[in-house]
Amino acid sequence: MNKLKTGDQVIVLTGRDKGKRGTVTARVDDSHLLVEGVNVAKKHVKPNPMKGTTGGIVDKTMPIHQSNVAIFNPASGKADRVGIKLLADGKKVRVYKSSGEELKA
C-alpha cells in the first residue's frame, strides 16, 4: 500500500520548492510523484502541424521523489508522516502518525 496517493495534499520538504504545497496529480513510478505547481521546468516544444500544436516554451511539471514530500495535516497545519493501521475487519487504512486519526480517502 502506497502511503501517498493521487489527490493527497502534500508539502515539499527539500529542494528549491521547499515549503510549497500542492496536490499529487499522478504517480510516475513506485517512488516518483507529479505534484501540481511543484518542480516546474521550461520545455522547448517544436511545432507539430499534424497534431495542430504550436511550438514555443511550455511549463511542464516534472516528477519529484516521494521522500522529498510529506502529507499535509489540515488539523495541525503542518507536514506529517503516514502510517498504516489494520482494522478489525482486515482492512488497511492510512493514518496520521502524530494524531492517529484516519486520512480522508
Asked whether the beta carbons of 16 and 37 are under 8 A apart, the reply is no
Residue 36 above 70 pLDDT? yes
Distance in angstroms (rounded) separating the CA atoms of residues 86 and 37:
34
Distance in angstroms (rounded) separating the CA atoms of residues 78 and 44:
36
Residue-wise pLDDT for 52-101, tens only, equals: 999 999 999 999 999 999 999 999 999 999 999 999 999 999 999 999 99
Distance in angstroms (rounded) separating the CA atoms of residues 44 and 102:
43
Tell me the percentage of the chain whose pLDDT exceeds 90.
Answer: 94
**Cα angle: 34, vertex 105, 60; to 5 degrees:** 15
Mean pLDDT computed over every residue of the chain: 94
The whole-model pTM stands at 0.84
Residue 1 above 90 pLDDT? no
Q: How confident is the model at residue 2 (pLDDT cuts 50, 70, 90)?
A: confident
Nearest to 100 by CA among 87, 84, 88, 89: 84
Pick one of 2.30.30.30, 3.40.710.10, 3.40.50.300, 3.40.50.11440 as the CATH number of 9-78.
2.30.30.30
